[in-house]
Amino acid sequence: MKLWTGRFHKELDKATNDFNSSISFDSRMAREDIEGSIAHATMLGACGIVEQKEAQAICAGLEGILADLESGKLAIDPGAEDIHTFVEGELTARLGDAGKRLHTARSRNDQVALDVRLYLRRQCRALQGQLEELVHVLCRRAIEHSGAVMPGYTHLQRAQPITFGHHLMAYAEMLLRDISRLEDACGRMNVCPLGSGALAGTTYPLDREMTASLLGFSGPTRNSLDGVSDRDFCMELAACIAICMVHLSRFSEEIILWCSWEFKFVELDDAFSTGSSIMPQKKNPDIAELVRGKTGRVIGSLTTLLTMMKGLPLAYNKDMQEDKEAVFDAVDTLRMCLTAFIPMVETMRVLPENMRKAAAGGFINATDCADYLVGRGLPFRDAYKVTGAIVAYCIDNGYTLENLPLEKYKEYHHLFENDVYEAISLERCVNGRKVLGGPAPENVRREAQRVLDLLQERRAGQGGKDEGHD
Ligand code: ARG
């Protein structure tokens, strides 16, 4: 059944019908479509646009459809043009004329703008929950390994010693920003387009505030053209998800490196690694690689949305039907990635001895050696030069800063004393970096605890705020 056959003399061509139809991907919004229709019908009844009795019958009918869909008693007809057509058709089959009144003062244009918002709002909150879980895992693992010394890198060259806990907390910070970005996106998305009609509003005396509040929106949209043609919320959510995926991808890249025999800083649990069909010794970090790979796909979805929108005149254009597959895929991909990534990080075995070995015996403490001289009164630039010369000597003669004899140190500068060895020990190097934001173990523990407290506060705060609008 089509909703728009009046002015046509022929059926739509079969292949064109399939091309035009969106049921294969918008049927996942069945619940939101029904919730939106219940709010619309309730408002139509309250405003006297549809008789109260009929409005109530419509709501009951819609609730019945939702229950039947959820219990599996009713299946979505894959031949329907879209989910809106299916629900309205089913309602009319059940109620007759009352069902036909549901679409009064509404267009599929404001209806679909509403459904996508309702659907994404829910998904956005679910993603935030998963990200909070990952941050939680990172904090716990950071506390566990707050004292594990590892090389910090720039240009993937050993640079200065840090702690593994500090490294993990860097990702926690990135993910906290992702959570707050999702929250912002969700806030801007949270306005109700119902009442925008096809593009020009409606002559019916609707109570748009009422529909908005019934659906848990902060208010109605303020311009009917924008109400039906805005897909910023899809682009913005996809952008948030793409940025988050980039974070997970960088983390994955590091995990892949850390798993290699060249690093061996971590070992993934068997449950989150795969083998090779030919090389019996292999244990591959496939999950991390897939997360890294799928990041390209999500960036692709964002590009799809931006490109799809960039040339569209106001108001609704059918191009916009393409919004759903792109943004849904971005949401699904992040959700799937997090579902695998969280337990992978939770269970990965950390090998602090190997991290320490990689940090020791090189020149990772050269800055601290220079700082030692600064502590004895030398200007930093001079101290830097002296230390550079010492490092060059060590490299040429097979020494490290740890085992270079004191007499040699003294040849380069008289301010060196026996306590230089203590000053450049890895523990001193990291323990001394207590500046706010630094890698000292006590900092890591304090920061991780601060974030854990923050998460707990968020959870406590959310209990009340989201009630009824999950
Ligand atoms: N399936 C359509 C979409 O996703 C619903 C809106 C249809 N409106 C229209 N005027 N054809 O955008």
pLDDT tens track for 366-396: 999 999 999 999 999 999 999 999 999 999 9
- Tally helices (H) and strands (E) across the chain: 20, 4
pLDDT grade for 463, boundaries at 50, 70 and 90: low
Instruction: Calculate how far, in angstroms, residue 331's C-alpha sits from the geometric centre of ligand 1.
Output: 21
The 8-class DSSP code of residue 29 comes to G
* Model pLDDT for residues 429-439, shown as the tens digit of each residue: 999 999 999 99
**Ligand 1 in contact with 34 (CB < 6 A)?**
no
Predicted local confidence at residue 153, as pLDDT: 96
Cα dihedral 401, 406, 409, 415 sign: positive
Give distance in angstroms: CA of 55 to centre of ligand 1: 25
Neighbouring C-alpha atoms within 13 Å toward the C-beta of 94: 21
* Å from CA of 229 to ligand 1 middle: 11
Q: What is the pLDDT of residue 467?
A: 41
For residue 180, give both structure tokens.
């707050």
Q: Which residue has the tokens 């793409």?
A: 242
Ligand 1 neighbourhood includes 328 CB (under 6 angstroms): no
What radius of gyration do the chain's Cα atoms show?
Answer: 30
Q: Whose CA is nearest to atom 12 of ligand 1?
A: 321
- The residue nearest atom 3 of ligand 1, judged by CA position, is 321
Q: How far apart are CA 245 and CA 295, in angstroms?
A: 5
User: CA 309 to CA 333: how far, in whole Å?
Assistant: 22
Which atom in ligand 1 lies closest to the alpha carbon of residue 320? Answer: 12
Residues 6+ apart with CB under 8 A from 308: 319, 320, 322, 323, 326
Ligand 1 pocket check for 294: Cβ under 6 Å: no
For range 10-21, the mean pLDDT = 86
What pLDDT band is residue 462 in, cutting at 50, 70 and 90? confident
pLDDT digits (tens, 9 = 90+) for 33-65: 999 999 999 999 999 999 999 999 999 999 999
CA 103 / ligand 1 centre spacing (Å): 14
Q: Provide mean pLDDT across the span 345-373.
A: 93
Could you count the other beta carbons within 10 Å of the beta carbon of residue 91? 25
3-state secondary structure 326-343: HHHHHHHHHHHHHHHHHH
Q: Which of 28, 103, 109, 320 to mutate to test the pocket of ligand 1 (most atoms within 8 A of CB)?
A: 109
Question: Distance (Å, rounded) from C-alpha 470 to C-alpha 36?
Answer: 15
Average pLDDT of the chain to the nearest whole number: 94
Query: Any residues with CB less than 8 A from the CB of 360 and at least 6 apart, and which?
Result: 402, 426
Query: Across residues 91-119, what is the average pLDDT?
Result: 97
Could you tell me the pLDDT band of residue 468, with boundaries at 50, 70 and 90?
Answer: very low
Pick the more confident residue, 232 or 279: 232
Residue 377 CA to ligand 1 center (angstroms) comes to 74
Residue 108 CA to ligand 1 center (angstroms) comes to 6
* Residue 4: pLDDT over 80: no
Q: Hey, how many other C-beta atoms are within 10 angstroms of the C-beta on 196?
A: 31
Contact 287, 340 (CB under 8 A): yes
Residue nearest to atom 10 of ligand 1 (CA): 109
Residue with tokens 């309730």: 42
Q: Which of 16, 25, 112 gets mutated to test ligand 1 (max ligand atoms within 8 A of its CB)? A: 112
Number of neighbouring beta carbons within 10 Å of residue 57: 22
pLDDT at 470 over 60: no
Q: How far is CA 324 from the centre of its chain?
A: 18
Q: What average pLDDT does range 305-321 have in this prediction? A: 97
**334 to 23, 178, 243, 327: CA distances (angstroms):** 23, 12, 11, 11
Rounded to 10 degrees, what is the CA torsion of 255, 259, 262, 264? 110
Write out the catalytic residue numbers.
Answer: 155, 276
CA distance 386 to 67: 78
Give the integer Cα–Cα distance in Å for 187 and 466.
Answer: 12
Q: Residue with the nearest Cα to atom 11 of ligand 1? A: 318
pTM: 0.93
**If pLDDT is split at 50, 70 and 90, which confidence band does 245 have?**
very high
Report how far apart, in Å, the C-alpha atoms of 356 and of each of 57, 120, 164, 350, 424 are. 71, 45, 10, 12, 14
CA angle 239, 242, 248 (to 5 degrees): 145
What's at 332, amino acid-wise?
D
Confidence band for 251, pLDDT divided at 50, 70 and 90: very high
